[in-house]
Structure 1
Amino acid sequence: MNLDAFQDALNARGAEVAASFAALPAQDFTHADPERWSPAQHLDHLIRSHKGLALALSMPRDRFGWGQRTPPGSRDADEIQSAYLEALRGGVKASGRFLPDPQGTQADLVQTYRDSVALLDHHLTVYCTDAELHGATLPHPALGEVTLAEMLHFTLYHDLHHLRSVQNALNPQALEIP
């Protein structure tokens, strides 16, 4: 995938996630079992993840742990998904600035999520190049050093993973998909 394809996929995934969270009944949006996040918390976590990545993209490449993979190369989407699921099975959990603390109404959070997708898309346009996709690296809290392409594969899967987690929690009879 090139940068344009990643941006198209990000915007499509963002629209899917936003529509799904917007369609939830209000009582479901803020409800959670004791051991699970509410849909509002899932959405806030995604907002925080997008904003964190957007901030990293806007930093000079000699800051925020940016590096260079030599030789350039990236794992594909399936490999990133597998690595993320393995990290989750190993006990990795959100922490620090990625812990959710949703503020505002359902409509506010859905709009903030849409805004975070637009911000990330904008930062990809302004601060990134196709040449950086498989060579520039940055730190990921669960996966370690990843290329920009790997981070974008992760972001696409991460949004879907949290959407599916909410859908599975609300409909436990449905087939659980990772």
Structure 2
Amino acid sequence: MNRNEIATLLNTNFNAFAHFIDSLSNHRFAVSPEGKWSAGQQLDHLLRSTKPVNKALSLPKLALRWYGKPKTPSRGYEALVNDYRQQLSKGFAATREYIPGIIELSHREPLLKQFYQQKERLIQQIESWTEEELDNYVLPHPLLGKITIREVLYFTAYHTAHHLHDLQTREQLRKNPWNSALEEMIF
């Protein structure tokens, strides 16, 4: 994908996630009885994951050389996604700095606002990178090791879609009205 295609994918995936979060009831936003992260916590996790990318992309490119140069060419989007899924299947869990805290209903609007701001900043920053530069600088990823900036952007787009899919799947499983009513009473 070129820069414009990556920016479009990021915009699409971030907007889809935000719209889904916005569509949830207050209860569905704040509670996750399965012991998994709530929708609000997933939103917070995505913010925690995107902010460092934005920070790194805003650094002078010379500073990014501290991480070294790529040893292999950038993978395509599908190859990166497959490698990430393979790593997840080995039982990878988010590292401490990416684990969300307790998210309350009052956090929804501020978190969504930050989410949109981070998306806009990310898309703006892509403009300052050439196609060649996207493939000639690397950043560390906690699971995938050092990956190119292009791969970081692919990951960020996929990671957002991955969490959206997770939430949508859980919502589909909750479609039983009796379970939903019981859950509302308990929680």
* Fold-level similarity (TM above 0.5): yes
Q: Distance in 1 between matches of 2:81 and 2:49?
A: 16
Q: Give % identity.
A: 30
| Structure 1 residue aligned with 2:67 | 66
TM-score by length of 1: 0.87
Structure 1 residue 106 and structure 2 residue 93: aligned?
no
TM-score by length of 2: 0.83
Is the contact between residue 51 and residue 119 of structure 1 (CA under 8 Å) also seen in structure 2?
A: no
Number of equivalences: 172
Deviations 1:72-115 (A, max 9, x none): x2111111111111111112111222111246432222222111
1:139 counterpart SS class: strand
Displacement of 1:146 in angstroms is 0.7
1:69 counterpart SS class: coil
Is the contact between residue 70 and residue 135 of structure 1 (CA under 8 Å) also seen in structure 2?
A: no
The structure with the greater share of residues assigned to helix is 2
Displacement of 1:173 in angstroms is 7.3
1:133 counterpart SS class: helix
Structure 2 CA distance for partners of 1:62 and 1:33, relative to 1, 3 Å? farther
Q: Distance in 1 between matches of 2:109 and 2:28?
A: 14
What is the alpha-carbon root mean square deviation over aligned residues?
2.0
| Structure 2 residue aligned with 1:91 | 91
Moved more, 15-24 or 105-114: 105-114
Displacement of 1:136 in angstroms is 1.5
User: Who wins on radius of gyration, i.e. which is larger?
Assistant: 2
Unmatched runs of 5 consecutive residues or more in structure 1 = none
Unmatched runs of 5 consecutive residues or more in structure 2 = 176-187
